Structure 1
Amino acid sequence: MARYIFITGGVVSSLGKGLTSAAIGALLQARGYRCRLRKLDPYLNVDPGTMSPTQHGEVFVTDDGAETDLDLGHYERFTGRPANKQDNITTGRIYQDIIARERRGDYLGGTVQVIPHVTDAIKEFILGGNEDYDFVLCEIGGTVGDIEAMPFLEAIRQLGNELPRQHAIYVHLTLMPYIPSAGELKTKPTQHSVKELRSIGIQPDILLVRCDRPIPPGERRKLSLFCNVRESAVIPGLDVKSIYEVPIAYHEAGLDAEVLAAFGIEGVPQPNLEKWRTIADNIRNPEGEVTIAVVGKYTGLKDAYKSLIEALVHGGIVNKVKVNIEWIESEVFEKEDPAPYLEHVAGILVPGGFGERGAEGKIAAAGFARRRDVPYFGICFGMQMAVIEAARNLGGIDHANSTEFGPTSEPVVGLMTEWLKGNMLEKRTLTGDLGGTLRLGAYEACLSEGSRIAEIYGSERISERHRHRYEVNIEYRERLEAQGMRFAGLSPDGVLPETIELENHPWFIGVQYHPELKSRPFEPHPLFASFIEAAVERSRLV
Structure 2
Amino acid sequence: MARYVFITGGVVSSLGKGLASAALGAVLQARGYKVRLRKLDPYLNVDPGTMSPTQHGEVFVTDDGAETDLDLGHYERFTGRHANKRDNITTGRIYSDIIAKERRGDYLGATVQVIPHVTDAIKDFIREGNEDFDFVLVEVGGTVGDIEGLPFFEAIRQFGNDLPRGHAIYVHLTLMPFIPSAGELKTKPTQHSVATLRSIGIAPDILLIRCDRPIPQSERKKLALFCNVRESAVIQGLDVASIYDVPLAYHKEGLDREVLAAFGIEDAPAPDLKAWEDVSSRLHNPEGEVNIAIVGKYTGLKDAYKSLSEALVHGGIANRVKVNLNWIDSEIFEHEDPAPYLEHIHGILVPGGFGERGSAGKIQAARFARLKDVPYFGICFGMQMACIEAARNTAGIKNANSTEFGPTKEPIVGIMTEWTKGNEQVTRSSETDLGGTMRLGSYPAQLAKGSRVADIYGSTRITERHRHRYEVNMNYRKVLEANGLLFSGVSPDGKLLEIVERTDHPWFIGVQFHPELKSKPFEPHPLFASFIEAAKEQSRLV
Verify same fold: TM over 0.5: yes
For residue 466 of structure 1, what is the aligned residue in structure 2? 466
**Other structure's SS at 1:355 match:** coil
Q: How does 1:323-342 map to 2 (within 5 A)?
A: 323-342=323-342
For residue 451 of structure 1, what is the aligned residue in structure 2? 451
For residue 497 of structure 1, what is the aligned residue in structure 2? 497
Q: How far off is 1:275 after superposition?
A: 1.1
Q: How does 1:55-454 map to 2 (within 5 A)?
A: 55-454=55-454
Distance 2:482 2:139 in 1: 52
For residue 524 of structure 2, what is the aligned residue in structure 1? 524
AA partner of residue 379 (structure 1):
I
Distance 1:318 1:490 in 2: 27
Distance 1:396 1:403 in 2: 19
AA partner of residue 243 (structure 2):
I
Distance 2:449 2:273 in 1: 40
Distance 1:4 1:256 in 2: 13
Distance 2:289 2:487 in 1: 32
Distance 2:104 2:254 in 1: 50
Distance 1:356 1:509 in 2: 22
Q: TM-score, normalised by structure 2?
A: 1.00
For residue 475 of structure 1, what is the aligned residue in structure 2? 475
CA-to-aligned-CA distance 1:210-236 (integer Å, 9 cap, x gap) = 000000011111100110111100000
Distance 1:539 1:275 in 2: 28
Percent same amino acid at aligned positions?
Answer: 78
Q: How far off is 1:268 after superposition?
A: 1.2
Q: How far off is 1:269 after superposition?
A: 2.1
AA partner of residue 180 (structure 1):
P
Distance 1:124 1:293 in 2: 45
Distance 2:415 2:463 in 1: 22
Q: How far off is 1:334 after superposition?
A: 0.1
In structure 1, runs of 5+ residues without a counterpart are none
Name segments (4+ residues, structure 1) moved above 6 Å: none
Q: How does 1:14-25 map to 2 (within 5 A)?
A: 14-25=14-25
Distance 2:269 2:511 in 1: 44
For residue 39 of structure 1, what is the aligned residue in structure 2? 39
CA-to-aligned-CA distance 1:287-327 (integer Å, 9 cap, x gap) = 00000000000001000000001100000001000000000
Distance 1:130 1:422 in 2: 26
AA partner of residue 178 (structure 1):
F
Q: How far off is 1:246 after superposition?
A: 0.3
Q: How far off is 1:267 after superposition?
A: 1.4
Q: How far off is 1:449 after superposition?
A: 0.5
Distance 1:247 1:481 in 2: 47
AA partner of residue 271 (structure 1):
P
AA partner of residue 60 (structure 1):
F
Distance 2:80 2:347 in 1: 28
Q: How far off is 1:432 after superposition?
A: 1.2
Distance 1:363 1:330 in 2: 9
CA-to-aligned-CA distance 1:434-480 (integer Å, 9 cap, x gap) = 00000000000000011100110000010000000000000000010
Distance 1:541 1:205 in 2: 56
Q: How far off is 1:5 after superposition?
A: 0.3
**Other structure's SS at 2:540 match:** helix
CA-to-aligned-CA distance 1:251-294 (integer Å, 9 cap, x gap) = 11010000000001111122111111111011001000000000
AA partner of residue 248 (structure 1):
L
For residue 539 of structure 2, what is the aligned residue in structure 1? 539
Distance 1:94 1:120 in 2: 10
CA-to-aligned-CA distance 1:324-343 (integer Å, 9 cap, x gap) = 00000000000000000001
Q: How far off is 1:431 after superposition?
A: 1.0
In structure 2, runs of 5+ residues without a counterpart are none
Distance 2:428 2:42 in 1: 29
**Other structure's SS at 1:377 match:** strand
Q: How far off is 1:429 after superposition?
A: 1.0
Corresponding residue pairs, total? 542
AA partner of residue 444 (structure 1):
P
